[in-house]
Amino acid sequence: MTDEPTTRDRLVQAATRLFRQRGYDGTGLTEILAQAGVPKGSLYHHFPDGKADLACAAAHWTASEIIRVIDDSFRTAPDWRHGVTTFCYKMAKLFDILNSADACPIFGLMFEGPDHERFRAQAEQSFDRIIAAAANYGEALGLGPEAALDAAETFIIGFQGSWTLARTRRKSDVLRGLPNRLYGPA
Amino acid sequence: MTDEPTTRDRLVQAATRLFRQRGYDGTGLTEILAQAGVPKGSLYHHFPDGKADLACAAAHWTASEIIRVIDDSFRTAPDWRHGVTTFCYKMAKLFDILNSADACPIFGLMFEGPDHERFRAQAEQSFDRIIAAAANYGEALGLGPEAALDAAETFIIGFQGSWTLARTRRKSDVLRGLPNRLYGPA
DNA sequence: GCATGATTAGACCAATCGGTCTAGGCTTCT
DNA sequence: AGAAGCCTAGACCGATTGGTCTAATCATGC
């Protein structure tokens, strides 16, 4: 029992990072393998369908990470807007760490590639998990079920757009400014 | 003088369509050439730097198309919200025509690929052209310069996020619902 | 110690990638 | 008519792609 990440985890994490930077088709297996320090045989042992399998695992893992940040942001929040604001600031910090160059963690990695429908379904599921997690906190903070779902969708839509604009400008301000855009001046 | 599109235009349009569907790295030159009905020699005559040149031309062309839709939507609009609403409905219609499967026309095509910085700069410029076009109508409709720019950015951010969500769900409703999200119930 | 299934290791493969290069029209001058 | 330059045409190239396959190594049961 070591705390070394397993071979599988190293593959998923290296793939996540690279897909986020260069996209699905832009990332070669060779590069993933090199960064993970894993030979090709292991990849096809853990992911029999190869690259596509790995991409789906990466998408799922990424969604879980996002939900973790949502948890951290909303658990102690006094109201919905505070939760959103904390989330945006945390993600802006992450954005800066990533050199402002990566695609939005959630949305960036899942579209191109062969087998379009499989990736689309995976993306839809990831989206819904994330929105549901946010909506759950909305309800806990006093919103009705429908209002919470609507607020969560608006939030995620705004976040996705903001990340994209932040990326083209290389400035994380856009992310931190989202709450004001959505809910008016503080 | 015929009204046949030129070889160059056919290349740009085929590339735009394919990049939007499969991304930069996911699209092979062979496929672009086949759809455009153009041999390889012509490509490198019109675009000496090859694929990267073509992608930048496609991005620029796409931005111009978007601005055309903005013009059509805002020129006769009585106020800002009406302009935004018309734009969203027009784009929702386009979304349905495109089989709900393509990336957002503006944002989808410009990030991956080698020479990251060149593509980023091209994307930033395209963004700014589009936002400026919208902000211009905002001013014409009575907003102050800063307010108009802010409104335009919020609008484009929301649109970008909405397109992404619409795409994962294959439903254009999300696009049509954007004005209510941004400005409250009609 | 030995056998067994899981995992690692990497050589190897056909296909495809973006890009180069030479030849052959086609147009438009003089 | 002839020459010159723009554009088309596609054969060809080395590099790289995702994927397959066999052999070695590991851990764990008896």
Residue B42 CA, nucleotide D1 C1', distance (Å)? 29
Rounded Cα–Cα distance for residues A7 and A79 (Å) = 41
Does residue A19 belong to the interface with chain B, where contact is any CB pair within 8 Å?
Answer: no
For CA atoms B175, B179, B184, B186, the dihedral sign is: negative
pLDDT at A3 over 70: no
State the average pLDDT over residues B63-83.
Answer: 97
3-state secondary structure chain A: CCCCCCHHHHHHHHHHHHHHHHCCCCCCHHHHHHHHCCCHHHHHHHCCCCHHHHHHHHHHHHHHHHHHHHHHHHCCCCCHHHHHHHHHHHHHHHHHHCCCCCCCCCCCCCCCCCCHHHHHHHHHHHHHHHHHHHHHHHHHCCCCHHHHHHHHHHHHHHHHHHHHHHHHHCCCHHHHCHHHHHHCCC
Q: Where are the alpha helices (DSSP H) in chain B?
A: 7-22, 29-36, 40-46, 51-74, 80-97, 116-140, 145-169, 173-176, 178-183
Does residue B100 belong to the interface with chain A, where contact is any CB pair within 8 Å?
Answer: no
Question: A33-47 pLDDT, tens per residue?
Answer: 999 999 999 999 999
- For residue B157, the chain A residues in CB contact (below 8 A) are 158, 161-162, 164-165, 174, 178, 181
Does residue B159 belong to the interface with chain A, where contact is any CB pair within 8 Å?
Answer: yes
Question: A83-93 pLDDT, tens per residue?
Answer: 999 999 999 99
Q: How confident is the model at residue A106 (pLDDT cuts 50, 70, 90)?
A: confident
pLDDT at B2 over 60: no
- For residue B181, the chain A residues in CB contact (below 8 A) are 150, 153-154, 157
Contact (CB<8Å) A154/B181:
yes
Decide: B50 and B43 in contact? Cβ < 8 Å: yes
pLDDT at A2 over 60: no
By Cβ distance, the residue of B150, B160, B168 closest to A124 is B168
Decide: A69 and A87 in contact? Cβ < 8 Å: yes
Residue A39 CA, nucleotide D15 C1', distance (Å)? 21
Least confident of A56-60, A89-93, A98-102, B26-30: A98-102
- For residue A167, the chain B residues in CB contact (below 8 A) are 111, 120
Q: Please state, in angstroms and as integers, the Cα–Cα distance from residue B128 to each residue in B63, B125, B153, following that order.
A: 10, 5, 9
Q: Which two tokens stand for residue A33?
A: 């393998």
Name the DSSP letter for residue B104.
P
In this prediction the pTM is: 0.93
Q: Please state, in angstroms and as integers, the Cα–Cα distance from residue A22 to each residue in A4, A32, B26, following that order.
A: 27, 11, 11
pLDDT at B175 over 70: yes
Question: B129-161 pLDDT, tens per residue?
Answer: 999 999 999 999 999 999 999 999 999 999 999
